[in-house]
Structure 1
Amino acid sequence: MKITEIFQIIKHYNINRLKKYTLRALYFREKGAAAKVLELGEKNIQDLSDNEVRIKVLASSINPADFMFIEKQYRVKPEFPQIAGFEGAGTIIDNGGDENFPLNSIVAFRHKNIWAEFANIPKDKIILLPKNFPIEKAAQLSLNPLTAWALLEESNAHTNEWIVLSAASSTVSKLIIQFAKNKGINTIAIVRDFEQKEELLSLGANMVLISDNEIIEKQIRELGKTERIVSFLDAVGGDLASTIIKTISPGSKIIHYGLYSDQNVTYHNADIIFKNLTIQGFGIDGWQNNKSKTELKKIWTNIIHEIMNQDFKMEVSGKYSLKAFKQAIIESRNNKSGKILFWMN
């Protein structure tokens, strides 16, 4: 590296470290309904630590986890006053002189304090993206696609085998369907109504079923006579999961990863023993902790490659400024198709 380039890096580093950023952010002072407890205000961003980069946030998605954090119990505890938001995309404006994180790079990230104009993000939470990566997709990249990829990996499904998805109209399920299609894996999508049937079929689902226990039991038993159903990826629980466990193919794996139903899952020991079923819980952080950095880097490369394809769908149904947060929250609660984003681009 030339000496002039070194001086430029030092100059940029010192200027940005001395510069104070005032940011607008959505924060809350107590737990409660998001539309009531969230406030839009100005704050000074904290000093950048050595293991962080500073991001100009361009877009941030609204996810169920955000509402859990604001309204209920969540694994991450708020420190009041707490800036909301866990997932977003933006550009690096200060890398502290670390050339591994080039300035102006487009990045995705999952961390706290994201519903804001700027954010300091730990370097190990940064996903560097190609320059032409769509911001709409980048804002949704850090959480759901990795979860979908991991669940499909955990299913142990191979080409021409079948998996069953509950809550198939959810964002995660729509991603699983597309990843599965690209791998030649067949999917049964279970939904509460047929409102999104055509969309799910267009994404690659092979079969869409209404969550009527009698119908599902009959159709899955019938399919299992000729096809190998290897896994049930369950975001619901309750009676639906109980029915699937009773009817799924021998040797299959049941993976519980969601809590949409308040009902317990019930089964007889014979259903598990005589069919040699595996029942497993899944959390994305625990899954990541069992992967090496090299493995995760390869996985992210594959995910980014697939999502970059224009045929891969990650729909956005609304973009809102931070100022319009109440409307954004209402839309997110009622939305059944694409994501709602806070848009600062």
Structure 2
Amino acid sequence: FFFFAFPFAMGGDTMMKSAQLHGAMKSGITEFTMDELRENVRVDEVNRPRPRSGQVLLRIERAVINPMDMSFLKASYGRDNHKPFPYGLGSEGIGRVVESNSLLGYPMVGKRVAFFKYNAAWAEYVCVPVTSVMVIGEASSYESEHDGVSSFVNPLTCLAFVEIALAAKAKAVVATASGSALGQMLIRHGARNGIKVISVVRSERSAKVCRDTGAAEVVISEDKDFHAKLTKACADLGATICFDAVSGSLAGTVLNAMPNGSTMYVYGGLSEDRPTISTRDLIFKRKTMTGFWLKDYVEEHKWNIGLLLWSRTVSTYLSSDFKTEVVKSFPLSKIQEAIHYYSRNMGAGKV
């Protein structure tokens, strides 16, 4: 038999509030000022989107700020940084499906879901491909009402890192900025898969977080004997893979401390400096430095069944391996204050 799918529609207002970027931030990520934020980031009244074929419309409950969102604020994320202003901001969060233009999405109407979409999450509503949502439980079914607010970027990156380490038969990995939400996920999920993590952090506060989470070794980059300690830890544990979120001079220092033949995957640039690496490490010690972008990894390795299995893994360990600590919440109307707070407390937890 044949049947046709029509959008399950909602009525009401056709406008919504959305955080929009009107100009690129010029100062460093950790130095955003309130004056610059008020000038460039505004909450505007825009047309509420309608779901196209294969999409669902969500009423957003919560959205997080990720490091990549800070790069979007500087118009420096992705291959194309010439998108015309203004444009939306935010990438992931939790919402409730209120309208569907997809057969797969129709059973989701009324359900609470985690979602991902570039430049769209800091708003009241968002249209998302049905393949970019994951049904989660009501807030009362989790340890925290925030569980699930970061179900895509960090968990999927963590799963990719574990896959890369296992494929390389690495006994241990080095992770910079390891006190972050992603760093903690890697420690927990790595241990579940037999991968030990050597955490590289800047402060004793972050070091304690990593120790409490279960890191095999913790080294503080500001210590005078940092290089010696990291060299010994890498040799003792057999760490031949590094996942670097910082770049700059730290990237070269860390790679130099690793065994011959090691590989560093640079997936972030928190230092906002170019990575430096010794030519001796490259030529004579067979060390390599390469980039990692989750979008490319998913497109190359995880379409269809692979991505579905990943989503099931995330759902299974949402309140354990992939739990996310939220340290402060703001209403959408105070998005500038939220960004300002996060820019100065990026290592403390999600906002």
TM over 0.5: yes
Q: Is the 8 A contact 1:89 1:139 kept in 2?
A: yes
Give RMSD over aligned pairs.
Answer: 2.9
CA distance in 1, matches of 2:44, 2:285: 57
Report the alpha carbon displacement of residue 308 of structure 1 after superposing the two structures with TM: 3.0
Q: Is the 8 A contact 2:8 2:99 kept in 1?
A: no
For 1:68, the aligned partner's letter is S
Q: How many residues align?
A: 331
For 2:96, the aligned partner's letter is T
2:65 to 46, 52, 62: 62
1:204 aligns with 2:197: no
CA distance in 2, matches of 1:14, 1:147: 33
- Map 1:189-338 onto structure 2 (within 5 A): 189-212=199-222, 215-261=225-271, 262-269=273-280, 271-291=281-301, 292-309=303-320, 313-335=323-345, 336-338=347-349
1:22 aligns with 2:37: no
Q: Describe the superposition over 1:63-104 as per-residue Cα deviations: whole angstroms up to 9, x where unpaired.
A: 222232233323255443322222121010011362445211
Greater shift after overlay, 93-102 or 58-67? Answer: 93-102
Greater shift after overlay, 130-139 or 93-102? Answer: 130-139
| Partner in structure 2 of residue 118 of structure 1 | 125
Report the alpha carbon displacement of residue 26 of structure 1 after superposing the two structures with TM: 1.7
**Structure 1 gap segments, 5+ residues each:** 341-345
| Partner in structure 1 of residue 32 of structure 2 | none
CA distance in 2, matches of 1:99, 1:243: 49
SS of 1:136's partner is: coil
1:83 aligns with 2:76: no
Q: Is the 8 A contact 2:173 2:197 kept in 1?
A: yes
Q: Is the 8 A contact 2:53 2:102 kept in 1?
A: no
Report the alpha carbon displacement of residue 247 of structure 1 after superposing the two structures with TM: 2.7
CA distance in 1, matches of 2:200, 2:268: 14
Report the alpha carbon displacement of residue 59 of structure 1 after superposing the two structures with TM: 0.5
Report the alpha carbon displacement of residue 225 of structure 1 after superposing the two structures with TM: 4.7
For 2:329, the aligned partner's letter is K
For 1:175, the aligned partner's letter is M
Q: Is the 8 A contact 1:27 1:38 kept in 2?
A: yes
| Partner in structure 2 of residue 343 of structure 1 | none
1:103 to 105, 109, 132: 109
CA distance in 2, matches of 1:189, 1:88: 27
| Partner in structure 1 of residue 134 of structure 2 | 127
Q: Is the 8 A contact 1:108 1:126 kept in 2?
A: yes
CA distance in 1, matches of 2:95, 2:145: 8
CA distance in 1, matches of 2:297, 2:170: 25
For 2:112, the aligned partner's letter is I
1:31 aligns with 2:24: yes
Q: Is the 8 A contact 1:157 1:231 kept in 2?
A: no
CA distance in 2, matches of 1:88, 1:185: 29
Q: Is the 8 A contact 1:93 1:103 kept in 2?
A: yes
Task: Give the share of equivalent positions with the same residue, in percent.
Answer: 23
For 1:57, the aligned partner's letter is I
Q: Is the 8 A contact 1:190 1:208 kept in 2?
A: yes
Distance 1:216 1:155, change over 3 A: farther
Greater shift after overlay, 19-28 or 188-197? Answer: 19-28
Moved over 6 A (4+): 157-160
Q: Is the 8 A contact 1:89 1:135 kept in 2?
A: no
Report the alpha carbon displacement of residue 48 of structure 1 after superposing the two structures with TM: 2.4
1:145 aligns with 2:150: no
Greater shift after overlay, 240-249 or 211-220? Answer: 211-220
Q: Is the 8 A contact 2:162 2:195 kept in 1?
A: no
Report the alpha carbon displacement of residue 52 of structure 1 after superposing the two structures with TM: 1.4
Q: Describe the superposition over 1:265-324 as per-residue Cα deviations: whole angstroms up to 9, x where unpaired.
A: 12134x345544343221111101112311111112112212233x75410011111112
**Structure 2 gap segments, 5+ residues each:** 26-35
CA distance in 2, matches of 1:225, 1:338: 31
Q: Describe the superposition over 1:4-33 as per-residue Cα deviations: whole angstroms up to 9, x where unpaired.
A: xx99x86xx4653x6553212222333344
Distance 1:214 1:274, change over 3 A: farther
